[in-house]
Amino acid sequence: MKKDIFIGMLVGLIANAIGLFFAANLLGKGDDFTLVIKAAAEEGFLGKLISLGAILNLIAFFVFIKKRQDYRARGVLLITVFIALSTFVFKLF
pLDDT in tens, 31-70: 788 888 888 888 888 888 888 888 999 999 999 999 999 9
Stronger pLDDT, 30 or 35, i.e. the higher one:
35
Provide the pLDDT for residue 52: 87
- Its domain, for residue 64, covers 2-92
The CA distance from 5 to 41, in Å, is: 31
Judged against a pLDDT cut of 90, whether residue 87 lies above it is answered with no
Provide the pLDDT for residue 16: 94
The CA distance from 55 to 31, in Å, is: 22
The CA distance from 54 to 76, in Å, is: 10
Judged against a pLDDT cut of 80, whether residue 29 lies above it is answered with no
Provide the pLDDT for residue 65: 96
What is the domain count for the chain?
Answer: 1
Chain Cα centroid distance, residue 57: 6
**23-38 mean pLDDT:** 83
